[in-house]
Structure 1
Amino acid sequence: MKNRHKGINIILAMSIWCCSIGLISAQAGQTGVGTRNPKGALHIDGAKDNDTTAPTAPTTTQAANDVIVDKTTGFVGVGVLTPAVPLDMRSTVNTDNALGLGTTTMTAAAAGAGAVRYDEVNAPVGAKIEYSDGSVWNKLYVAPKKVVVVARQVSGQNIGNTAADIVNWTLDSQANNIGFAPATGVFTAPRDGKYTFLFTFNLAATMIDDGTRVESQFYRTSGTPAVLARVYKTFGHSMNNETEDGPSGFRMKDTQAGGSSVATFTLAQGATVTVRMLHNLTGGNIPLRVPNNSLPDNPDAGFNSLTIIEH
């Protein structure tokens, strides 16, 4: 009699346990929790939204909250009824298909080759994903999107005998114009590295004096040295008093002063650089040669441009 009561108690305990966790069913070696129609060796319906009246397969939306162990491969699917890899989380319905990783104090050798961890403590200190090669933890390298600034002048600016920042640039929308402020012309390095600056200029035609020059500068707005580089375009002989055929004989000619400057610098993150110009071609201001509209096929377009490339 005692053994009989013991058996009844076990049955009652199992019944209470089953009721506490929800519906459990078994079909031909398949166990379902929360579902009447398990589709794997173990099938858990997290939201209990699968069909409860007929043995039909859950829809894609219903399966999005299911966990399944494939009865053939043993692969685990989270939101996926047919996992294709040992752990498959690629639900086509959920937008939260993310894998959460934590840190570990295990050595890379103890974790084994192929282990992955999220680490903020160990050197280099800072948030990073690391993988084990069986000997050491290696930081996963994610290449940053490199800077390629492309800008041109269409608004015009007067250049005088003292250095002035070139401002009000128009950006090429197709370029990766990271860190460049077109209104001020100031470039801020997004990270430590090498940057090449290419500046081309062309001044409007005017009478210029012999033995003069145009100077372009790559100028650091803070820190020293302030002027990173100077590039000169000199004019030893202008086109004044050139002979021309025709009744006019000798005639004074206007001349366009133009050139290009290129320089490469090693900049620290946050360093700020702008382009400046000055000249002594005449005693007054000379405007940049710019188009009267911003269309790239304008014949005056492209004479004044700035390109910055991160290596």
Structure 2
Amino acid sequence: MKNKYGLIILAVSFNLAFSQVGINTPNPRGILHTDGQKDNPATGASFTPAQQINDVVITGAGRIGVGTHDPAVKVDARNSGNGAVGFGTSLLTAVAADEGAVRYNTGMEYSNGNEWLPLLTAQPATNKVIVIAAKTDNTVKLVSPSALVTTALQNRVSNYLVGWTKAFESNSGSTFNASIGIFTAPRNGVYVASFTTDLAPLAINYTADPLNPIQIEAIWQLYDNTTGVLATNIVNTVKCVNTMSSNSNGNIDAGSNCTASFYMTSGQRLMPYIWFNLNGLNTASFSLNNSGGYNNLTIVEQ
């Protein structure tokens, strides 16, 4: 009987002695504790930052501390030294990696479960693109960007806005081609684009086609990263519609505005245009209100 009790006490003592494992330290601070430089004190719970910085600890809560004995999250590398975390590349699809996965791929990316997206905050603020431009004439391209350039707008036709004057552009100053009204993304990212237009006062009177309401549309067209501006090159279109009264007693301003966010890959292009259905005249005889700075464009990289 005494031998049995002795074996039980020995087994309990062994369990207590080895419930925590220390490598290079007799004083482990977790279930597993590695002291890289063997510089921790043999007893006590007081450790300097310099002593912790070369340690790796796995706690009873299943947390890993690298350079810290008190990890607050599942993996914690915060310390007073070089506490960076390195990420490698991955060929996994975003679906296979699942949401929350992080990788390095010419920049930091994360998976939302469907696609890899860039961690935009990693871009230095000094590299962000900002474009501010104004339009002070009536130069447009009708029907499509490759069509005729004219100095008057046309009813019920796509009027691509060209002939801008840049007020400001950060960095290289070459992302926005003011003469043709095309912005080209210098890199992958989210860009917020906004433009406003105001037609010179005109009489609104259009009753011939009840299926086409009286309206003015401000539209952003996103093209691919080739040189084409055909329908096959269109990636996305965002349309902002402003409806108007069916008839006016006198001349009034018809304004439009469109603000949209786009995720653009390097080389993709944005171009603004307007389409309106304001009266029965389909001749190229409409003008922008070029007094007072009504026609403006802003593009900001996020």
TM-score, L = length of structure 2: 0.47
TM-score, L = length of structure 1: 0.46
